[in-house]
A and B are shown apart, each in its own frame.
Chain A
Amino acid sequence: MKGRYTVVAAGLTIVLVATVAVSLATGPSPLPAGRAMRILLSPLPGLHGLAPQASEAEQAIVLNIRLPRLILALLVGAALGVAGGVMQGFFQNPMAAPSILGVSAGATLGATAAIMLGLNWWILGVSPVPVAAFLGALLVSVAVYFLSRRGGRTPITLLLLTGIALGSLCSAISSFILVRGQQGDLDLVIFWMMGSLANRGWPEVWMVLPYVVVGSVIVYAYSRDLNALLLGDEQAHHLGIPVERVKLILLVLASLLAAAAVAVTGIIGFVGLVVPHLIRLMVGPDHRILLPLCFLAGGIVLGLSDMVANLAGEIPIGIITSLLGAPFFLYLLHRRREYEF
């Protein structure tokens, strides 16, 4: 597996570079990919001469519109990929996704409330919707955790069922707010629930970046603990893992990653489910290898999906990821025999 890991990592890096080049070149006013890359690199010290004939408009399109949106797509995809990988390991269930702890439902409730109540306080250039979505996602996942504690332990089945119950509760409240609202707000909420990176720029990048970077690094430091957790709580104990503390840390981090992602883009399905799955098929279940590759692959998948969404006339990206992800996932399920129990 170790040799294969290097091959997969190298392959993904190449695909990432290609994704960057193609994605910066595509849009309403297309550029040759090489030219887009030269414009991308030209602001770096010593590389000024790279794009001498690029117009100011071209520079602005690549560096101020497409680049931040691409970086945001890569970051959000990476966050969803890593969060999904953690959740699937944590719940010892390859069907788990970041939404399992009610992150999506909580974010939706937060966003719905913010939109419908017409909240209008802006903080540091950031609209109230992502802030409310972020808080909603975190509050719900924290509530799921504490409602699942029994005598100092948090059994996995209990977390799972509590997540489903609280998720449904949040969805019901969201729906109630929705049916009481006005048509225009309703449209906003529905579009938010389908996810989009349209019109996102540097402010959103700076908002998400710290969570994704810090969250992913700390998660990685716990990747061996996660491997031990895959053998069950008791065996992890016997391997010297302080199980409850590690569980809490991993849940908080995965929720933070997913919450930060959906807060700025809205709900994006299937990335957190399919990406860890696919990578696990390629390199096996060792999280020390799996999680960094989920980070890379999640970014690539969302970068490419956003390009398709943009080309298709700015349709919500959640539609693209589910439209492509669901059939692919069905194919995986059909091919693998280990799910037949």
Chain B
Amino acid sequence: MDDAHTLAAEGIVCGYDDEDVLRDVTLDVAQGEFVGLIGPNGSGKSTLLRALTGILPLRSGRVLLNGQPLAHYTRRQIAQKIAVVPQLSGSIFPFTVRDYVMMGRTPYLGRLQFQRPGDGQIAQQAMTLTDVTHLADRPITDLSGGEMQRATIARAVAQQTDVLLLDEPTAFLDLNHQREIFELLKRFNTDQDMTIICVSHDLNLAAQYCPRIVVLKDGVVYDDGPGSQIISEQMVRQVYGAPVQVDIGPGGKPRVSLLPAGLEQGRPQP
């Protein structure tokens, strides 16, 4: 077993119906990395998350989890190692936040087991970390977008996995909540050595928080490396087709500004 590769994709090809969305993606993510996965709509970001968790069958290549092919694990074993926070989560059924977070313990419970000793405490800690303890008895159907996303992250934390995958966790959140979520991820990453792969549409957030950026374009890895090297005007123009200006923001991280039609030509050259 090779611990360096917590989660690795080796030349994977997969997609829906007749179309290949991912065309030969290779990616190694080591224990404790915090990876921002960026790319335009349809570039295959969410599909890559599905492939990494074994939900989408591969047409070619393989995914390795701790050095073993994903196919060697049962769903339950995968769920003990990888937790996923989707873009939108919830249910029209009014589970309380506590019950919802407790569902994170599902992969550890026997068929007729209600809960194990310690499960309540694990859920409680997860709720404290994500600051939803005061919502514990509220139905999830009553939560705001930010509260719901924090509850879902608490559920993922309660799953006690080494790897956390997130699919645009801040897509529907305001600035303050975006910051809260990424601060939380940063803490998980530094304090608990959790491996995080986070899909993001927000290049600035990704640059600010993720030490490593992977760019997907048309189903292949376009570039992969530290944010300061990856995020450039040229990359954004070629991958997203959008005119931007990239300068240095607070903390020395690249800052991306969209250029409106008028400014496109007359912008100062770096």
Contacts and interface: CB of A to CB of B under 8 A. Distances in A.
Interface of A: 1, 89, 92, 94, 151-152, 221-222, 224, 227-228, 230-232, 234-235, 237-242, 280, 284-286, 288, 338
Contact of A1 (B77, B96, B111): B96
Contact of B99 (A151, A232, A286, A338): A286
A92 B95 CA distance: 13
B103 interface: yes
A231 to B, nearest CB: 5
Nearest to A231: B91
Given A92-B93, A231-B89, A221 B112 contact: yes
A134 B1 CA distance: 54
B89 A237 contact: no
A235 B77 CA distance: 15
Contacts of A241: 75, 106
Contacts of B106: 224, 228, 239-241
Nearest to B53: A238
Contacts of A280: 93
Contact of B111 (A152, A221, A234, A338): A221
Contacts of A221: 111-112
Question: Of residues B75, B77, B83, which shows the largest number of chain A Cβ atoms within 10 Å of its Cβ?
Answer: B75
B261 interface: no
B94 interface: yes
Interface residues of B, number: 35
Contacts of A238: 53, 55, 79, 82-84
A26 B79 CA distance: 55
Contacts of A284: 94-96, 99
Given A240-B75, A240-B76, A242-B75, A230 B93 contact: yes
B53 A240 contact: no
A338 B92 CA distance: 8
Question: Of residues B17, B55, B104, which shows the largest number of chain A Cβ atoms within 10 Å of its Cβ?
Answer: B55
B121 interface: no
A286 B95 contact: yes
A230 B95 CA distance: 10
B95 A239 contact: no
B184 to A, nearest CB: 19
Contacts of B112: 221
Given A237-B53, A280-B93, A285-B93, 7 more contacts: A1-B99, A94-B92, A227-B103, A234-B50, A240-B74, A240-B78, A284-B99
Contacts of B53: 237-238
Contacts of B17: 151
A284 B89 CA distance: 19
Contacts of A94: 92-93
B141 interface: yes
B42 interface: no
Contacts of B75: 237, 240-242
Contacts of A242: 74-75
B61 interface: no
A286 B50 CA distance: 27
B103 A239 contact: yes
7 closest cross-chain pairs (CB), A and B:
A240-B79, A240-B107, A285-B93, A240-B76, A238-B84, A239-B106, A230-B91
A143 B195 CA distance: 44
Nearest to A287: B93
